[in-house]
Structure 1
Amino acid sequence: MSAAIKVGVIGLGTVGQGVVRLLKNNADEIARRVGRPLVVTHASVRDAGKARDCDLSGITTLADAMQLAREADVDLLVETVGGISPARELILAALARGKSVVTANKALIAEDGNRVFAAARASGASVAFEAAVAGGIPVIKAVREGLAGNRVERLAGIINGTCNYILTQMQENGTAFDDALRDAQRLGYAEADPTFDIEGMDSAHKLAILASIAFGTPLDYGSVAVEGITRVTPQDIQIAQVFGYRIKLLGIAKRSGKGSEQGIELRVHPTLVPDNTLLAKVDGVLNSVVVRGDAVGEVGFYGRGAGGDATASAVVADLIDLARGLGADARHAVPALAFQPDAVRALPIVPSAEVASAFYLRLKVADEPGVLSKLTAILASHDISVEAILQREPRGHEDANVALITSVIPQHRFDHAVNEMRALPFVREDAARFRVEKFD
């Protein structure tokens, strides 16, 4: 067997340690797949004395990550430090030396990936990033390569395990949002500062990457419309269940319009999903992505979307791909964003106000006669029909709750109707409003 391929790992946190373990534990199987051994020879660590859950024997550790990126005698580099900087500078330094890189860094790819991929093309190197979306689920390869013969019409996914865990606890146990969040933090599913997850930004990063691969558009994180889960209550989850839905935080990318007016929708938000669909049944910290292609129809992917070993699985798969092509000009390999670089083109982003869907609305209202008739009259005046409606009587001196699901309409029509409802003297507040997606 030929000489080993030398790998450098920047960062020995949870994912970096998982990569080292996996390459050592499955060394024989990986060598059979590649045709030669794949061995970690260098790693950068901020604290060399810290105990780690992996065998570092035979690995040279460096305190300076940039030294590893620029100078270490390695064939391939893995970046696991996360964030935009210094990860960007480390990757660009490695690419400048012609070293191909594997990264799990969804923030960097989503926000600065166009620049990173241009640098890779200029040097003849590659950047692989399967682990940036949905952890151990190989959804990037599936969309980029397995569905390459399809025109992808839409994709939708549960792509943040923290939010899915919180919503599952609220669904199954009636737990309040704050209590479910604290439980997620206690179990290590949520960070001490969970803003990035619960406000939807993590999902938006992943959606931007998937959409670019699905539609052949430049990465455009800034155009994703984002709403987090902080306004979801156990009451809304219970009412949704009565209506036959479950509430999930979804990332949705979808073609919209026809011909010259065609654009794409990019949105992350809490969504009512019919309870007989795959996405409704994905609970806990698991992830799932459902893709519709014109030839294949609908295909689904499901599994562990986070965690050191699951993410390391995707990183090592990328390493194996790069190792197989080592020495070849990466400019002739599978394009990073699925389409040839000169064929990647922007499509108009459909404004949120124009995006059509059904809507769930819950209002707090005074308990008095005529409430429902006046609310439905306003909806009718905007040519909005009601598919389901529920009125819950007040307890004691509390206000009553009216919840309804509308027909499919553009958001601006729904917003105009809700604004009129707000002006009614018996309406206390519009307590919740979420999109409803049936995926017909």
Structure 2
Amino acid sequence: MKLNKSINFPCVRILNRGFLKKLLLVNILTFWSWVSFAAESSSTESYLPYYKYTQTITASSDLDDKNYVMDPFIMPVSSTEMLIGYKRGYAHLTDKEAVTEILRFNPVTERIVGRTALRRPGIIFQNGEFAKFPNGDIACFIDMQEAGPEDGKPETARKAATLEGGLTAGGVLKSRAIRLGVLEFRSSDGGRTWVDRGKLGLVDGVEYGYVFEAITENKTTWLLVMRFTNLPGGKPVDPQRPHAGSVDVIRSDDNGQTWKLVRNITEECGGISINESSFMRYQDGFIIAARGYDNRQWLIRTDGNFRLVKKVDITAANFFIHSYVGRPRIFERDGGYYLIGRNWDKPPFDRGSVLGYDQKESREPGTTPMKLSFFRFDPDSFAITKHVILDNAEEENVIDGYYAVPYWQERRERMYFNAIIYKRPISRNPDIVRLEFDWEEIR
């Protein structure tokens, strides 16, 4: 279903011939200016898909404890098995404890065939990401956190946790997340068993807190990672975000035994304040999608050594992107280049409500809750050529969600695009959900 912007022309009563000539000239000029505007605005198509299927993978209502599930990430293992990992805790963040649950999922039968959990007592396993090394080992990198009070008081002076944040089985601390460093679990049997290998450790004097994505080619694995100022080597980038450091690329040529810094992407791009990012190969270089702390979304092209070639603020360039694209993922398929993530196609409504504090019961006219958007872009100009709203076109009050990860599955000789997401409507906890679309329709 194609969405078109309508153009309305005012009705005017004609009084005399002289006035008619002037009015005719004005209307001709106005008409052509509107045509020019319409051509520019309609150069990007916006669609609602006709076909959409939804499957709940993990329902929070089925869980007696740790029933806040979020931040999915995946790793294909074979044609009949993939790993789906996600956080399972008590809140979006700063909960008392959380584990990383990993499902073995058959994408053909659409059934769960195995389940395990990675944990350390009393630690929040927040954001996870898989990486597959050249030797076939699969790593699960985990952003370890603890809840630290904003007022700086020690643990003994901290107030008791509250039950704000929805139907949680545990407490939510009004505090900030403190990074403890990236932890690595490793599997050599396709994700059936896992070994806690400890922290990723120092990389050229830096301890990283968050792994965004991995690329493996031949004998090399690159990781897109982030520094934090409380960890060794972390330096502040944005005075409004004193805990956040730079986004970097590191690489390993020995299956993750050792790592070295390739490039500080934040510095390379002129000190832009960014966090959640995704990257992919493009010709002899790379393309990076980076979420800005200043509510902007960047597309960045680099050479093979991650030297800057081009960067574009796509929020400023597109009327249907009003902020950052949350937890973006970029990828290529069938010759097209795509970006998927949380989006606001109108001014955002209540963006800071994911922790459950001071949620608004009604929204102002002209604003919107979060949606899941799918963008096709030109890899050279970074122009967005198609925009598909995959979820929440009806503007339900979704207050936490998406972190979409894509995969494709053929069925009955037709290809389907799938996105594993999490989604939380107001007053409920999130579920892990699979969305399915006709690939030929949305591509």
TM range (shorter): under 0.3
Q: Which has the higher helix share?
A: 1
- TM-score normalised by length of structure 2: 0.25
TM-score, normalised via structure 1 length: 0.25
